[in-house]
């Protein structure tokens, strides 16, 4: 695994002239427009990078973007990988590990999620303060990669408190609502049943999705501070559950995207 990671890293460094990103950003479903804010220096297709997985999900374009956002060097995953696509967890988190080897210091993750908290509404933004991992596996199972991190990494403070507080201040000054909550990560790709939504709510989740937690586990294993943000694209409370289609999820994400983009841009500017 380390050899594959190093091969990918060397290829990327060669193609980008040694570009050194400070921040890694993963963009979720329907949330790719942040790239329009970036002064792009290099763009690499996942398919061209040795050992990189290739995104198979509609709305995930599958490019690694290098450039500047708010005057800081960033690398952006325009499209992520999910366990439900048939990838192993090592493949799902492969790009995050490559980011670390490229020199990334902090990781910012976004996703589209279903809202379980009755106070939420469609297109709300939720800062993830903690998570519940309901994926059937995780990227740390198996032989530990000692070069990356310890065998038993602590997960009591997964999401960076400083960045969370900073984001709340940015939102307050910009005069828009920003909630905090717990994100449950499930395997998918099917949406949950009513009983499953109820169960997730009972165990303490405010939102549910099919991503993020594997990448966050890998990042924390490597000592990278993480900030994560959910866009609530559909409501999953008993009185508001309805059949969901992708077009509606993308529409809800598009409404929230300007606020999310501003928040991430200003958060990076102030680091």
* 110-145 confidence digits (pLDDT tens): 999 999 999 999 999 999 999 999 999 999 999 999
**Looking at residues 244-268, what average pLDDT do you find?**
91
What pLDDT, on a 0 to 100 scale, did the predictor assign at position 55?
A: 65
What are the beta bridge partners of residue 170?
A: none
Which has the minimum average pLDDT: 75-79, 130-134, 161-165, 181-185? 75-79
CB 227 within 8 A of CB 107: yes
Q: Which residues contact 135 (CB under 8 A, 6 or more apart)?
A: 83, 89, 185, 186, 187, 213, 214
Helix, strand, coil percentages (3-state) for the chain, rounded to 5, are: 35, 25, 40
What value does the mean pLDDT of the chain take?
Answer: 94
Flag whether pLDDT at 177 surpasses 90: yes
What pLDDT, on a 0 to 100 scale, did the predictor assign at position 61?
A: 62
What pLDDT, on a 0 to 100 scale, did the predictor assign at position 60?
A: 47
* pLDDT tens figures, 144-173: 999 999 999 999 999 999 999 999 999 999
Flag whether pLDDT at 30 surpasses 80: no
Cα–Cα distance measured from residue 127 to residue 164, given in angstroms and rounded to the nearest whole number: 7
Cα–Cα distance measured from residue 21 to residue 23, given in angstroms and rounded to the nearest whole number: 6
Q: Which residue has the higher pLDDT, 243 or 268?
A: 268
What percent of the chain lies above the pLDDT cut of 90? Answer: 84
Cα–Cα distance measured from residue 42 to residue 53, given in angstroms and rounded to the nearest whole number: 19
CB 223 within 8 A of CB 194: no
pTM above threshold 0.85: yes
What percent of the chain lies above the pLDDT cut of 70? Answer: 97
Q: Which residue has the higher pLDDT, 39 or 245?
A: 39
Q: Domains in the chain, start-ordered, CATH in brackets?
A: 2-269 (3.40.50.1580)
The alpha carbon of residue 32 and the mean position of all alpha carbons in its chain are separated, in whole angstroms, by 12
Cα–Cα distance measured from residue 53 to residue 55, given in angstroms and rounded to the nearest whole number: 7
């Amino acid at each position: 695994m380390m050899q594959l990671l190093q091969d990918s890293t060397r290829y990327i460094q060669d193609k980008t002239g040694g570009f050194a990103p400070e921040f890694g950003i993963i963009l979720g479903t329907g949330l790719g427009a942040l790239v329009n804010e970036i002064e792009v220096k290099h763009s690499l297709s996942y398919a061209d990078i040795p050992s990189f997985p290739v995104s198979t999900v509609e709305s995930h374009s599958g490019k690694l973007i290098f450039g500047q956002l708010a005057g800081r060097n960033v690398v952006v995953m325009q499209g992520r990988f999910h366990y439900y696509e048939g990838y192993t967890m090592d493949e799902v988190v492969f790009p995050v590990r490559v980011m670390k080897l490229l020199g990334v210091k902090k990781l910012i993750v976004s996703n589209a999620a279903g809202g379980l908290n009755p106070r939420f509404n469609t297109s709300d933004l939720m800062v993830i303060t903690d998570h519940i991992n309901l994926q059937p596996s995780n990227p740390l199972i198996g032989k530990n990669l000692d070069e990356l991190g310890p065998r038993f990494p602590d997960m009591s403070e997964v999401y960076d408190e400083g960045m969370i507080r900073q984001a709340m201040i940015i939102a307050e000054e910009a005069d828009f609502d920003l909630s905090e909550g717990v994100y449950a990560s499930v395997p998918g790709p099917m949406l949950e049943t009513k009983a499953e939504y109820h169960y997730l709510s009972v165990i303490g989740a405010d939102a549910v999705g099919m991503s993020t937690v594997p990448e966050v586990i890998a990042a924390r294993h490597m000592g990278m501070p993480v900030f994560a943000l959910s866009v609530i694209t559909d409501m999953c409370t008993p009185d508001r559950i309805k059949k969901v289609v992708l077009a509606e999820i993308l529409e809800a994400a598009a409404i929230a995207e300007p606020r999310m983009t501003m928040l991430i841009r200003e958060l990076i500017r102030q680091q």
